[in-house]
Amino acid sequence: MTSTIDLVADLGEGFGAYTIGDDSELLEIVSSANIACGFHAGDPDIMAATVAECVRRGVGIGAHPSFPDLRGFGRRDMGLSASEVQNDVLYQLGALNGFAAFHGTKVTHLAPHGRLGNLVAVRADYAQAVADAAARVDNELIVVAQDGELATAARKAGLDVAIVGIVDRAYQEDGTLLPRSQSGAVLHDPTEIVDRTLRMVVDGKIRCATGDDINIDVDTLLLHGDNPGAVELARQIRSELISAGVRIAPLAEVMDAKRKAA
């Protein structure tokens, strides 16, 4: 099915002297980056360096906004109103755009982080707040999501939605992820992960937790880099995709190709 796909990872998630993940390794593998914007991770210096490196390598720049929660790495529900969420997203998206503009380019996608990312999938008020923020700032912005409230709200707001495939997670029959609380939710076997990924991208199918195949149409794959094994696996996924004839390209190109094919 899909012959072009984007590979994306969370980047720039250090803060000051702290680092998380091996950004330089990942930048050789991915075609797009979800860049932390200072609320759960990232500071202006790290954002500047990360954007500069993405520009140099032709990696697509995405905003990875979060609840304002450095101590909790964006994993906590801060009890914010939808209006506060919208303002926080406008602030972070704008800030990242500052660095992109400095290089004569712009942010091409938006992918909410952590708990915010979980909540926009199920809370319609948060989803609409984020989709409206994105659409009014730049109607060419691509929203990265799984199926859920954010994807619905973003489409309604006239935005392109890129569906992200999570290569190391089990899926349910309705296309959502098996919750982490259930056994088998997270996959660990590299061979199995690579095989599923290829099938997801090349055949548009995934075997879900019940054993049945479902159709899946993903535009980007989320890769990890927070341990040496993860980087190695990401590298392998990239090379196997290329061997299978899949083209790796930044998200904007993937969406363009899709539009032309439609």
Cβ closer to its own copies: 5 or 33? 33
Cβ closer to its own copies: 141 or 216? 141
CB of 238 vs its own copies, minimal distance in Å: 26
* Phi and psi torsions of 47, nearest 5°: -60, -45
Q: Tell me: does residue 9 bind its own copies (CB under 8 A).
A: no
Contacting its own copies within 175-234 (CB under 8 A): none
> Which regions of 31-112 does DSSP assign to beta strands (E)?
32-36, 60-64, 109-110
Q: Tell me: does residue 158 bind its own copies (CB under 8 A).
A: no
Among 58, 71, 183, 191, binds its own copies (CB under 8 A): 71
Under rule CB under 8 A, how many of the chain's residues touch its own copies?
47
CB of 180 vs its own copies, minimal distance in Å: 17
Structure tokens at 243: 């061997």
Q: Tell me: does residue 88 bind its own copies (CB under 8 A).
A: yes
Among 22, 25, 78, 240, binds its own copies (CB under 8 A): 78
Contacts to its own copies by CB under 8 A: 14-20, 38, 41, 43-45, 47-48, 68, 70-73, 76-80, 83-84, 86-88, 90-99, 101-104, 133, 136-138
